[in-house]
Structure 1
Amino acid sequence: MFDVPATLSDNLTKGCLPFLLAGGQGSRLHELTAHECKPAVHFADAGRIVDFVMSGVHRAGFDEMFVATQYKPNTLTRHMETAWAGGFAKGLHLRDGAKIANQQGYRGTADAVMANLAEVDRINPKEVLILAADHVYDMDFTAMLEAHRASGAMATLAATPVPRMEATGFGVLAINGANRCVEFAEKPKDPAAMPGRSDMALASMGIYVFDWEWLRDAIMEAFKREGTSHDFGHDIMPMALAQDTLNVYALPDSEDGTPGYWRDVGTLDAYRLALLDFENGSPIRLPKAPDQAYSKPADMTSASSTIEESVVLPGASVGSNCRLSKTIVGAGTEIPSGLVVGEDHDEDARWFRCTDGGTTLVTSEMLARRADQRTLMHPMSSQRPHSHIVSQ
């Protein structure tokens, strides 16, 4: 399904090196990233968030790739080695920040490239494709690379419209008729609206193509400046903007004419809603690694339970007579029979992780603490059946 003709790879990806930024903690996912980084979090059956970008890179026919890891990289490293490494003829180079950057780790997104400058120079690419590992999307990277080369710009940034009030966490930009960026603000408090669309802002997807020689010089110059953030959004993109060499590539619409699908699943609410999108019919193709056969996990939910606007991650199970609403059941978590979540916020907040957006995360550790505390409060309850059931 994802085989790429040699001519396509030779013509479009030759000379371009993908560089994946995969070190993010994903702190707003809370307990889901307690033991692994955000790119390694489960998504859509047996896959992981990182598989979306890796599938796109593999389809494009790149034969070599750098992956910068940092926060709790073990799960991600194993997954990359077993599922994806075989798809790169010249190598999938895993570059852990703790080993590369003198134990301090990468200090920012651009610092990940700076710390690997000599290794990238050894390969001597014409362009470097900077990718984010923690978004859910399906994108033709060869089309973006073609657009970059045709533009004559030194930098190309991928962008897509997002609700304006959600754009405070992104780089927000404005373009002219030639797709040149004329304004750029990193994580603005009051994002600028798109012309004619007061409720939407044009946001950076965290995906860039740079001419390597320009990027190398820009990074070295930026890092000499006092107060540098070591970051693409704060340091490098403003330099490209100031030189009038920042091209913008808009995420194309889907084949049916609907806007291209791109989701930053950085919060529990966004993560749950994105998973529901796929449960209700995949808005984009699901990724499939060349070296790993995925199979849909068996449904471990009792037929007597009611699950609404909720997701059950791989290896989890739901007992009988449960009612779950707007709930994320963590991977491997066993929901006891009779548990009700999502109907009494105060009760849920005592035991589980609740968000302002109405999502409740339930994990094995939370259920264990709940059981222990309820036993301490009601010692005799441990002798009665179903003592862990929420009272109705």
Structure 2
Amino acid sequence: MAYGFDTLQIHAGARPDPATGARQTPIYQSTAYVFRDAEHAAALFNLQEVGYIYSRLTNPTVAVLQERVATLEGGVGAVCCSSGHAAQIMALFPLMAPGRNVVVSTRLYGGSVTQFSQTIKRFGWSAKFIDFDDTDAIAAAIDDDTRAVFCESIANPGGYITDLPVIAKIADDAGLPLIVDNTSASPYLCRPIEHGATLVVHSLTKYLTGNGTVTGGVVVDSGKFDWSASDKFPSLSQPEEAYHGLKFHETFGPLAFTFHGIAIGLRDLGMTLNPQAAHYTLMGTETLSLRMQKHVENAQIVAEWLEKDDRVEAVTYAGLKSSPYHKRVAKICPKGAGGLFTVTLKGGYDSCVKLVDSLELFSHVANLGDTRSLIIHSASTTHRQLTAEQQTAAGAAPNVVRISIGIEDPDDIIADLDQALSKASI
């Protein structure tokens, strides 16, 4: 039977505990798991049987979350890990090698820009930053050493919506996987795999958990990419010495990337999600659709109010008819443009700082996707490490604040912004 999203966000992956009958997924706070016998242990270590060995690799609580998120995204499998940044490295790890590059959007979270422009150099990898509205430039940037294309569905901080089918075709024509960070949208608003994405990554920290209690990440595998179509992805298509010459794609088919992520990625990188965090996220997913509907409804109301305010120069919310990305909402995010956008203040940098300091209901934090309304001045915080040019390209110029609209009463959100804007405009 094909269940609807609201049913799957509660039930996917979860079954009553066979030992106790517990209805909620238990927190399996165990480091290791007893093998039935020596033969069972050998089969697990040889990847001949699926089961639990050690919680750096697999854990029953985490396994439920992996199945649930994969189901909500329309993927065949998923690998949870310790953070959204860990998920990005986990996604690239089987694909890249020294001298290889990834083509990425300029519209990314500031930490991701730093990760791609600086940190991955230590692996011998590199990134080419391209404006993803310039499709000719994307195609031109792809060369023989490119191994992936990376973007965000709804870009943080500006709320820009990426034309995923167009980007997916460019990647597909080049024989490359498209990796989409779907954190700002959640699978309720956007399912990138349906638009041609190969892999989807999330910071579980944000909307999927929704309550500011978890740091976690996940990589979802579409199962649709042919890793053996070329010699570009030897980690998946060629013999793996650590498993006696096993070929992941040949052996596991559509689940090759998922199995590699656990058997190699988590085994050696060790970026494991703890079971308590998985439990909190599972509880969060149960109300995902309800929260996202309210986030979108509130964001639309607040963005429309801000756009009409004389103290505001611009609002980037794609749900506004004035947005150049408004037409993409119906195609990419038919249930709404999300709860994230930026506001440009006429008073510049100083007004942004005063606004942040004057708000009372909003929380000034380096996070988004919480039930609470959040604000941050990206240029002095999350995007501080970037150059002025990079800040502007990412939508985080000095006169811009990022707002993550919560699920409070919209009149209260507006009242708080109104009083703070008055103080910021003096």
TM-score (norm 2): 0.27
User: Could you say which structure has the higher strand fraction?
Assistant: 1
User: Could you say which structure has the higher helix fraction?
Assistant: 2
Structure with higher RCO (Cα < 8 A, 6+ apart): 2
